[in-house]
């Protein structure tokens, strides 16, 4: 049976009640937003419907990005903001100021998290696949950061204070248990926040 756009969108929203992890919830939001984007293109000649679908996209991404910032691991954030940026970029056909701001923010975080975890190049997935994908990305992030921390290269792809902060976050979230949390100075967190919320040019010198 072929579902219409609204039915598909609300089906994914209803599915949130059955989700067992934050990443599954995030994926439901992304899938719903992707269907809303499809609806925008399907009714691009109907101004009222296309505008309604665009508002739905930005609302879904706004709500899910708040969850992603606070609850997702760095590798999962790299996945989320890759698609959040793509969806909002192609949805921004009306050029509203608030929409432009969200696209810029998603672009900023997409560049930031993908510079930390550069190999998260996964296709768009379904909600049922999200748990397995989440586990694999977290494991990769953990091993990748430990390898970078131990390497003796003079020029690492990521600065040392960012590597330490990602490991620190993994410890706080219970992902890594074999390191002593006391080894990581709170200054690493301050340095990371300064990098994240500072001027946009800092994104390109991580």
Instruction: Look at residue 201 and tell me whether its pLDDT is greater than 60.
Output: no
Higher pLDDT, 35 or 2: 35
pLDDT digit string (tens) for 105-122? 888 888 888 777 766 666
In the block, which residue shows the tokens 């040019």?
201
Tally of residues, the chain: 206
Q: For residue 166, what pLDDT is reported? A: 73
Q: Is the predicted pLDDT of residue 13 greater than 90, yes or no?
A: yes
Please give the structure tokens belonging to residue 204: 């390109």
Separation of alpha carbons 32 and 6, rounded Å: 9
Mean pLDDT estimate for the chain = 78
Task: Report the C-alpha gap between 156 and 179 in whole angstroms.
Answer: 21
Q: Which is more confidently placed, 90 or 130?
A: 90
Predicted confidence band at 162 (pLDDT cuts at 50, 70, 90)?
confident
SS3 content of the chain, % helix, strand, coil (to 5): 75, 0, 25
């Amino acid at each position: 049976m072929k579902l219409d756009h609204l039915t598909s969108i609300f089906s994914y929203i209803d599915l949130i009640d059955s989700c067992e992890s934050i990443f599954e919830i995030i994926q439901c939001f992304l899938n719903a937003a992707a269907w809303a984007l499809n609806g925008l293109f399907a009714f691009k000649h109907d101004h009222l419907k296309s505008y309604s679908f665009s508002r739905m996209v930005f609302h879904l991404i706004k709500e899910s990005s708040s969850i992603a910032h606070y609850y997702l691991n760095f590798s999962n954030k790299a996945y989320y903001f890759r698609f959040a940026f793509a969806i909002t970029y192609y949805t921004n056909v009306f050029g509203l100021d608030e929409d432009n701001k969200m696209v810029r923010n998603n672009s900023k975080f997409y560049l930031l998290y993908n510079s930390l975890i550069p190999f998260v190049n996964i296709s768009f997935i379904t909600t049922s696949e999200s748990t397995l994908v989440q586990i694999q990305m977290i494991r990769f992030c953990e091993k990748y950061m430990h390898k970078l921390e131990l390497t003796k290269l003079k020029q690492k792809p990521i600065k040392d204070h960012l590597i330490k902060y990602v490991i620190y976050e993994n410890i706080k979230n219970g992902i890594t248990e074999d390191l002593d949390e006391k080894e990581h100075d709170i200054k690493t967190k301050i340095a990371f926040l300064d990098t994240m919320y500072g001027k946009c040019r800092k994104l390109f010198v991580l």
